[in-house]
Amino acid sequence: MIRVTENFRKIQDLLAKAAADAGRPADHIRLLAVSKKKPLEAILAAASAGQRDFGENFVQEGIGKIAACGRDDLTWHFIGHLQANKTKAVAENFQWVHTVDRLKIARRLSQQRPESMADLNICIEVNVDAEEKKSGVSPAELPDLAAAIAELPRLRLRGLMCLPAIRHDFDEQRKPFAALNAMSKALQASGLELDTLSMGMSADYAAAIHEGATMVRIGTALFGAR
Ligand SMILES: *Cc1c(COP(=O)(O)O)cnc(C)c1O
């Protein structure tokens, strides 16, 4: 588990460097450690190195880890595809959901979020490359969805998330992230208070940071291959 600690330090340095290259303060970028399919020990190692935010893709696996680690010191983000029959479990356990892409799901999360818990933080997933097989709302439908979600009780709309098609060239990687940033700015201009751009993973975090990412979701570079 020494490797998780080492990787954590290395990633902190890489994120700081990417921020400096982009002319942004490093503390504007939050590292979300994607721990899917990784054992509890890996999470605990990262937590003892100072990591606080963890992302999980599978509801049952995530709930098990939340039960074991608790929510007092750690913040748990659901970043997987969310089906309607799983919204209750997510609403009752996680603090963030990054993958809301339709109103039905948002309404269920709103109704199912326990009153005793803080508002559930929401990012809307946008299908930036209009990929047929990918989740996410289309850019055209985003404004209406965002306005509707912002009205729902017990949810707090924080921002946008994307998972672009794989690109290898840095300048190509920047394009979908720049597009998501522009959508966020347009929503802000329409009066929504958004503070989160959840974009960038192990292979494209630098491009995402260049285009304004406030949260990068890193799995492989931190915990090794899955
Ligand atoms: C798995 C996953 C990640 C992390 O990807 P890595 O390439 O391992 O860094 C980020 N975001 C989402 C939505 C994921 O499913």
The verdict on the CB of residue 218 being under 6 Å from ligand 1 is yes
Residue pLDDT, tens place only, 139-180: 999 999 999 999 999 999 999 999 999 999 999 999 999 999
The verdict on the CB of residue 32 being under 6 Å from ligand 1 is no
Q: What is the count of structural domains for the chain?
A: 1
Residue pLDDT, tens place only, 27-63: 999 999 999 999 999 999 999 999 999 999 999 999 9
The verdict on the CB of residue 220 being under 6 Å from ligand 1 is yes
Local structure of 98: helix, strand or coil: strand
Residue range(s) defining the domain that contains residue 111: 2-223
Give the distance (Å) from ligand 1 centre to CA of residue 31. Answer: 12
Tell which atom from ligand 1 comes closest to the C-alpha of 79.
Answer: 13
Answering whether pTM is above 0.85, one says yes
Distance CA 125, CA 187 (A): 14
Instruction: Decide: 109 and 91 in contact? Cβ < 8 Å.
Output: yes
Please give the mean pLDDT across all residues of the chain.
97
With 0-12 / 13-18 / 19 or more C-beta atoms within 10 angstroms meaning exposed / middle / buried, residue 61 is middle
| Mutate which of 198, 217, 223, 226 for ligand 1 pocket (most atoms within 8 A of beta carbon) | 217
Q: Pick the closest to residue 99 from 69, 74, 127 (CA basis).
A: 127
Neighbours of 31 (CB within 10 A): 20
Tell which atom from ligand 1 comes closest to the C-alpha of 222.
Answer: 9
The verdict on the CB of residue 219 being under 6 Å from ligand 1 is yes
| pLDDT band, residue 206 (cuts 50/70/90) | very high
Instruction: Decide: 162 and 193 in contact? Cβ < 8 Å.
Output: no
Tell which atom from ligand 1 comes closest to the C-alpha of 163.
Answer: 13
Q: Pick the closest to residue 201 from 182, 177, 179 (CA basis).
A: 177
Neighbours of 6 (CB within 10 A): 11
Q: DSSP label at 68?
A: H
Structure tokens at 150: 């912002």
Neighbours of 194 (CB within 10 A): 19
Say whether pLDDT at 18 is over 60.
yes
Q: Determine the Cα angle at 180 with ends 176 and 183, to 5°.
A: 140
**Residue 139: which CATH number?**
3.20.20.10
Distance CA 82, CA 58 (A): 9
